[in-house]
Chains A and B, each alone.
Chain A
Amino acid sequence: MIRADHIIKSFDGRIVLNDITAEFTPGITNLIIGQSGSGKTVLLKSLVGLHKIDSGNIFYNDICFNTLPFAQMKAIRKEVGMLFQGGALLDSSNVEENVRLPLDLFTNMPMDEKRDRVNFCLKRVNLGNVNHLYPAELSGGMIKRVAIARAIVLNPKYLFCDEPNSGLDPMTSVLIDNLIQEITQEYNITTIINTHDMNSVMEIGEHIIFIYKGEKWWEGTKHDILHTDNQELNDFVFASAMAKRAKAAEQQ
């Protein structure tokens, strides 16, 4: 469980996150949605401590994360997996080395065992025979999947995904979304996903937080989202043809 308690974040005096309070429970897919520039990435990076927040608190279970000394923060980070928007694989390492890096750094497993674990995770994201390819040789969807494999290799308790299907074709997007949802349920992970894609929202939106200009504007599930009278949320939701059709179908 992760809880944000009145967090505020600004850059050079410009407020980007304004008083956000939210709770994210394990085992379900928590979505943060909003337009580009609304502050989703900043929120996610603040939750993992890549950005230092101005005020408020962030709790991991009952531990106040943002005030922890660096060493203890690092201990928690070993339980965190993060999927970055562009994948963020290390260009100078091949797929196997990328996925293995967390094991190299934090375990004393023998090489065979590490290889097994890497192959298990790659198989979990439906990738085979790519161990010796470099990121430059992979497609966008494969990069995302390798990044997921790397994020789950240490069995994280917390998984953060920044726009996991941006830049992917619709079919691959659905695969990635479902994959994240499956992993979340399978290992009871606290998963937080940033997205501006209504397809994802309708597919895996078990708990949704809508961010508008840095503020939490609405909270609910994919079942409520078509029936809200919140103007800004409606504008966001029904900008997509898919949501319009879903609503029309319901009304028939």
Chain B
Amino acid sequence: MKKLFEYIGRYFILMGKVFSKPEKRTIYWQRILVEMQALGLSSIGIVAIISVFMGAVITIQMALNFESPFIPQYLIGYAARESMLLEFSSTIVALILAGKVGSNIASEIGTMRITEQIDALEIMGVNSASYLILPKIISTVIFFPFLTTLSMGIGIAGGYVLCILTGAVNPDAYITGIRYDFKPFYITYSLIKSSVFAFVITSISGFFGYYANGNSLEVGRASTQAVVISSIAILIFNLILTQLLLM
């Protein structure tokens, strides 16, 4: 328990360093663009693949659950859309990105720590925490909502493709369903979550990487911890944000 508080304390001290005033802004802009490419653009593929399959699977499951003459078919499309919008495209996608992006960040920064690259930056008078972590935070906080939006579109499209291919649901009913009782705020809610999750993943993974020490085993451990702890943090923040925004 004492250890937990120690971790949290050190996390906030590190965030203090990360968000202190940068020495030269132009350098940061370049780094943000590089990180957008490395952490954001490169994740489009995996997000698209997962979303299309999940959209299809959710539609099948809804079709099975709603198999009754008393329930109109369009509700299947409606339920699939709500699942994607509310939960899947933000939370599940974030959990997957915690695995991909989180381990990437923790192992990259951890390796920099044990090979003295961070010391080298410090000697040059660079605020290494800010130089390494801030561009990653900014680029993911901006980019993850795009990934979430993309996931919503592709997931719903995946459900539609399934309707056409298998005929499990009437495609016209599905279209009616996904347009039924649409609440734009659900999208806002999802995008807010996605940005918060981006911050959680990047800052926690950066933290574990930054304080790695020793050898490659420690970097491996830091990377695992980064994924596990950011996943748990995502679930906790999901609960808190849902309570705050939807209740």
Contacts and interface: CB of A to CB of B under 8 A. Distances in A.
Nearest to A83: B120
A84 B112 CA distance: 13
Interface residues on B, range: 10 to 19
A104 interface: yes
Given A104-B24, A105-B23, A105-B27, A74 B119 contact: no
Contacts of B111: 91
A67 to B, nearest CB: 18
A75 B123 CA distance: 11
B101 to A, nearest CB: 16
Given A105-B23, A105-B24, A105-B27, A84 B124 contact: no
Interface in A47-92: 48, 50, 74-75, 77-78, 80-82, 84-86, 88-92
Contacts of B34: 92
A102 B117 contact: no
Contacts of A86: 115-116
A50 B122 contact: yes
B125 interface: yes
Interface residues of A, number: 23
Given A105-B23, A105-B24, A74 B116 contact: no
A251 to B, nearest CB: 42
A91 B124 contact: no
A101 interface: yes
Interface centre among B111, B112, B115 (most CB of A within 10 A): B115
Contacts of B121: 90
B102 to A, nearest CB: 18
Given A104-B24, A104-B27, A105-B24, A45 B119 contact: yes
B229 interface: no
A43 B190 CA distance: 52
B142 to A, nearest CB: 20
Contacts of A75: 125
Contact of A82 (B112, B115, B120): B120
Contacts of A92: 34
B120 A88 contact: yes
B173 interface: no
B115 A78 contact: no
Contacts of A89: 117, 120
B241 interface: no
B126 interface: yes
Contacts of B125: 74-75, 77-78, 105-106
B123 A82 contact: yes
Given A104-B24, A104-B27, A105-B23, A88 B117 contact: yes
Contacts of B122: 50, 77
A106 B23 CA distance: 9
B117 A90 contact: yes
A241 to B, nearest CB: 31
A43 to B, nearest CB: 14
A141 B247 CA distance: 63
Interface string B110-154: 011001110111111110000000000000000000000000000
Given A104-B24, A105-B24, A88 B124 contact: no
Contact of B123 (A48, A85, A106): A48
Contact of A50 (B115, B123, B126): B123
Contacts of B115: 86, 88, 91
B17 to A, nearest CB: 10
Interface in B171-201: none
A77 B117 contact: no
A84 B116 contact: yes
A88 B119 contact: yes
Nearest to A74: B125
A225 B126 CA distance: 39
B202 to A, nearest CB: 17
Contacts of A74: 125
Contact of A105 (B116, B117, B120, B124): B124
Interface of A: 45, 48, 50, 74-75, 77-78, 80-82, 84-86, 88-92, 101-102, 104-106
Given A77-B125, A89-B120, A104-B24, 11 more contacts: A75-B125, A77-B124, A78-B125, A81-B123, A82-B120, A91-B117, A101-B124, A105-B23, A105-B124, A105-B125, A106-B125
Q: Top 3 nearest A-B pairs by Cβ distance?
A: A88-B120, A88-B116, A84-B116
10 contacts: A48-B123, A50-B122, A75-B125, A82-B120, A86-B116, A90-B112, A91-B115, A105-B27, A105-B124, A105-B126
